[in-house]
Chains A and B, each alone.
Chain A
Amino acid sequence: MISISHVSKSYGAFQVLKDCNADVARGEVVVICGPSGSGKSTLIKTVNGLETIDAGEIKVGDFRLAPGVTHVAALRRSVGMVFQSFELFPHLTVLSNVTIAQTKVLKRPKAVAEEKARSLLARVGLSAHITKYPAQLSGGQQQRVAIARALALDPEVMLFDEPTSALDPEMVNEVLDVMTSLAKQGMTMICVTHEMGFARNVANRVLFMDGGEIVETADAATFFAAPRSERAKSFLARILKH
Chain B
Amino acid sequence: MNFNLSAITSVVPFLLSGLLFTIEITVVGVIGGIVFGSLLAVARLSSNRLLSAFATAYINLMRSIPLIMVIFWVFFLVPWAIGWLTNGGRPVAVGASLTIYVTFVLFEAAYYAEIVRAGFRSISSGQYAACEALGLSKLHAYVYILFPQAIRNVLPILLTQTIILFQDTSLVYVISATDLLGAATKIAQRDGKLVEMYLTVGVIYFLFCYSASQLVKRLQGRLAYGAR
B94 within 8 Å of A by Cβ?
A: no
B228 within 8 Å of A by Cβ?
A: yes
**Contact partners of A153 in chain B: CB under 8 A:** 134-135
Q: Which of A50, A81, A101, A149 has the most CB of B within 10 A?
A: A101
**A76: nearest chain-B partner, CB-CB:** B135
Q: Size class of A's contact patch? A: 20 to 34
Q: Which of B8-16, B100-108, B122-130, B169-177 faces chain A? A: B122-130
**Contact partners of A87 in chain B: CB under 8 A:** 124, 126-127, 129-130
**Contact partners of B225 in chain A: CB under 8 A:** 90-91, 133-135
CA distance A153 to B152 in the complex (A): 28
B213 within 8 Å of A by Cβ?
A: no
B161 within 8 Å of A by Cβ?
A: no
**Contact partners of A217 in chain B: CB under 8 A:** none
A48 within 8 Å of B by Cβ?
A: yes
Check B130–A104 contact: CB distance below 8 A: no
Within 8 A of A (CB), among B61-107: none
Check B226–A135 contact: CB distance below 8 A: yes
**Contact partners of B137 in chain A: CB under 8 A:** 73, 104-105
| Cross-chain contact of B144 among A77, A79, A85, A104 (Cβ < 8 A) | A104
**Contact partners of B228 in chain A: CB under 8 A:** 133
**B144: nearest chain-A partner, CB-CB:** A100
**B123: nearest chain-A partner, CB-CB:** A90
Check A105–B149 contact: CB distance below 8 A: no
A73-B135 contact given A100-B144, A133-B225, A136-B226, CB 8 Å threshold? yes
Instruction: State the main secondary structure of chain B at its contact with A.
Output: helix
Within 8 A of B (CB), among A57-110: 73, 76-77, 79-81, 83, 85, 87-91, 100-101, 104-105
**Contact partners of A101 in chain B: CB under 8 A:** 134-136
Interface, chain A (partner B; CB < 8 A): 48-50, 73, 76-77, 79-81, 83, 85, 87-91, 100-101, 104-105, 133-136, 149-150, 153
List 25 A-B residue pairs with CB atoms under 8 Å apart, sorted by A's residue number. A48-B133, A73-B135, A76-B132, A76-B134, A76-B135, A80-B133, A83-B130, A83-B133, A87-B127, A87-B129, A87-B130, A88-B130, A89-B130, A89-B145, A90-B149, A90-B225, A91-B148, A91-B225, A104-B140, A105-B140, A133-B226, A135-B225, A149-B134, A150-B134, A153-B134
Interface, chain B (partner A; CB < 8 A): 124, 126-127, 129-130, 132-137, 140, 144-145, 148-149, 152, 225-226, 228
